[in-house]
Amino acid sequence: GTKRPVTLVESDSESSSSGSNSQRRKTGAAAATALLTASTPLDVDEADKVIHRILSFPTKFAGPLQHEGGLVQVMAECEVNISIQPGDSSDATAIRISGTEHALGRAVAQIELQFQAFAEAERKAKEEAESNHMDQVQIPEKLLCGAVGPNGQDLPKVREKCKVMIALMPPEAGHLTAHIGPGTEEQVKSAKAELLQRISAAEKAKADAANPSRQLSAEFQALMEDVGK
């Protein structure tokens, strides 16, 4: 009557079946992975893509930038390639920049910054050239008071009106010299015309004072013209 322990032994058929199932699962997983990989595009790093951009600048800026080494410096510092192409017009030049997005952005910013400095320097040079006009007017010493007041006391009014500097030099050979400027061409022309008109009026007033009958004749003529109207 003593019961003996029973040992369960896995049969060869069960072991074989279990191994076969495991192998099938592995094969199915591999096939699924291969299918997923085939249907998904490769992940390309956008930061490493080479892109291009073309900038147009006046040739008077782009030419010196190329020949004086400015573009070579930008290429070295920003790690981009730069080439020069004809622009849309005879006075324009196209600058073609190639590189990664980050490098290209740095290069564009650097070139545009240099152009801003160039444009500002050009503007200042033009402004200086336009504001460097000068002229002079000879004022007979005998007409000085009538033209610009005693000792030139009316000159500040002319300066204020024409927005330009006017300086009187000491008399020489019976004349005083009114130096006009520096200023713009328009300012200098305006001041010269104002002084000449004042000199003409002073000369006429002096002539009328020396010949009262002439003044009366002129006044009579003006009166007759008014009556005729």
Strands (E), the chain: 51-58, 81-86, 92-99, 133-140, 166-172, 175-183
Question: What pLDDT, on the 0 to 100 scale, is given for residue 37?
Answer: 47
Cβ–Cβ contacts within 10 Å for residue 220, how many? 10
What's the rounded Cα separation, in Å, for the pair 147 and 62?
53
**If residue 45 lies in a helix (H) or strand (E), which one and from where to where?**
none
What's the rounded Cα separation, in Å, for the pair 121 and 197?
39
- Choose between 134 and 28: higher pLDDT: 134
Q: Is the pLDDT of residue 7 over 50?
A: no
What's the rounded Cα separation, in Å, for the pair 36 and 58?
53
pLDDT category at 15 given cuts 50, 70, 90 is very low
Predicted confidence (pLDDT) per residue in 212-222, tens digit: 665 555 565 66
Question: What global pTM score does this model have?
Answer: 0.52
What's the rounded Cα separation, in Å, for the pair 85 and 88?
10
Average pLDDT, the chain: 81
Strands (E), 38-158: 51-58, 81-86, 92-99, 133-140
Predicted confidence (pLDDT) per residue in 153-210, tens digit: 999 999 999 999 999 988 788 888 999 999 999 999 999 999 999 999 999 988 888 7
Residues 6 or more apart from 203 whose CB is under 8 A from it?
140, 143, 146
Question: What pLDDT, on the 0 to 100 scale, is given for residue 54?
Answer: 96
55 token code pair: 């900038």
Angle at CA of residue 225, ends 224 and 227, nearest 5°: 65
**140 burial type by CB count under 10 A (0-12 exposed, 13-18 middle, 19+ buried):** middle
What's the rounded Cα separation, in Å, for the pair 162 and 164?
6
Mean pLDDT lowest among 45-49, 135-139, 223-227: 223-227
